[in-house]
Amino acid sequence: MPQEFNLQEAVKLAVQTEKDVMDFYNRAASITKHERGRKVFQQLAQEEREHCSHFFKIYTGGDLGTFEQFIQTPPRMESAMLHTLQKALDENVHERRAMEIALKEEEDLARNLEQTAANIVDPAVRAVFERMAKETRDHFAVIESEYAHLMGMVHETDIDTFVRE
């Protein structure tokens, strides 16, 4: 069934979603003791900030303030990712659990964005959701790779070595 957002509603949703995910990755980085995992979370947070900036530049509403003001607003704890991470923190989570949460939430977000995009009639609005879905899938792949490394699984960079042996 077709779903309609106007372009500015879609862009505002994209801005908030990117910030929510950035806040999650910043929080995950702050609790991660393993340097490599922390760097992955920091890199993902920076990429989310850049994605947010891209959408912010095309948002014409004035209700969010400047980009820097918006970025500095406190994290929304009603964000599903942050809520799940905070609950896990209360249970003494570690970086493996943070990555598991990130994998699940990124996968769910990508699926929801793809479903929403499929139901959007306006091509410009659909493109906003498709771009967000692609960026989300890309981040899922990064986290999945780091999770495999953390768990001692064969990393994709090692595949050639294992195939040749």
pLDDT tens-digit map of 24-47: 889 888 888 888 888 999 999 999
Give the number of residues written for the chain.
165
DSSP states along 26-60 = HHHHHH--SHHHHHHHHHHHHHHHHHHHHHHHH--
CATH topology of domain 7-164: Ferritin (1.20.1260)
pLDDT in tens, 78-134: 777 767 766 666 555 567 788 888 898 889 889 989 998 998 888 998 999 999 999
pTM of the model: 0.79
User: Which ranges in the chain belong to alpha helices (H)?
Assistant: 7-31, 35-58, 67-72, 80-90, 95-118, 123-150, 159-164
Q: What is the CA radius of gyration of the chain?
A: 17
